[in-house]
Amino acid sequence: MSLQSIRERIAAAETAAGREPGAVALVAISKVQPLPRVEAVLEDGHRVFGENRVQEAQGKWPAFRERYDGVRLHLVGPLQSNKARAAMELFDVIETLDRPKLARTFARLAQEIGRCPQLFVQVNTGAEDQKAGIAPDEVDGFVAECRGLDLPVQGLMCIPPIDAPPESHFTMLAEMAERNGLSGLSMGMSADFEAAIAHGATHVRVGSALFGERVAS
């Protein structure tokens, strides 16, 4: 589906939800996509992209950034502590702050580097064993801990369970953000971004609907 069509669907969902036009940012998830597909979206003027692996992003984005001004990169995949510095140097936004140790690492590196990307706390809304993220009942304490470390937490992010309707997860995330005074809500992917917008998403992460099915690597 073209960038134009995705933008139109986002705009229609904003209107339907009584949200301001432009309230929702499209994060184009370009992981594993062939470079010409990514380049086509850059040529169409889009600048906000998401990747789920530091190494893959390092191999692709420095060259694109030389050719296209104003690129903003989001990390949406799990981050090992030993790659935290590289991630902080490459990404503008890290959406997967998911544990206290990583928060302390970011705080220390922010002092050394002199800057810190914007951060989203990943919440494991479905309390799934295999999924990263802060448990729902630990979110308030964790956000407070991050603030105590002076980390720039902008919002919350979730990846709902694949086998369940996402709406209750979107609602839960929106309530947690509200009571913690956080304005950012990263939720909604190709299959459900309109529902996420209805529930207050400020960032939707759309991959396959925009670029086509991911080619197995």
Ligand X SMILES: *Cc1c(COP(=O)(O)O)cnc(C)c1O
Q: Which residue of this chain has its Cβ atom nearest to ligand X in the complex?
A: 207
126 near ligand X, rule: CB under 6 A: no
208 near ligand X, rule: CB under 6 A: yes
Q: Which is nearer to ligand X, 90 or 206 (CB)?
A: 206
> Token pair 């002199």 is at which residue?
114
Site for ligand X in 128-157 (CB under 6 A): none
Residue 106, CB half-sphere, CA atoms under 13 Å: how many?
A: 31
Q: Is 134 exposed, middle or buried (0-12, 13-18, 19+ CB in 10 A)?
A: buried
189 near ligand X, rule: CB under 6 A: yes
How much of the chain is helix, strand and coil, in % rounded to 5? 45, 20, 40
10 near ligand X, rule: CB under 6 A: no
Site for ligand X in 65-124 (CB under 6 A): 76-77
Coil, helix or strand for 130?
coil
- Please state, in angstroms and rounded to a whole number, the distance separating the CA atoms of residues 121 and 182: 10
Q: Which is nearer to ligand X, 77 or 107 (CB)?
A: 77
With CB under 6 A as the contact rule, the residue among 167, 180, 190, 194 that binds ligand X is: 190
Range in contact with ligand X (rule: CB under 6 A) among 5-13, 39-47, 67-75, 202-210: 202-210
- Please state, in angstroms and rounded to a whole number, the distance separating the CA atoms of residues 59 and 130: 28
Q: Which is nearer to ligand X, 136 or 160 (CB)?
A: 160
Residue spans of alpha helices (H) in 48-188: 54-67, 84-90, 100-113, 139-148, 167-179
Range in contact with ligand X (rule: CB under 6 A) among 14-22, 148-156, 171-179, 199-207: 199-207
Backbone angles phi, psi at 185, to 5 degrees: -135, 105
With CB under 6 A as the contact rule, the residue among 30, 33, 52, 124 that binds ligand X is: 52
| Binding residues for ligand X (CB under 6 A) | 29, 31, 52, 76-77, 159, 189-191, 205-209
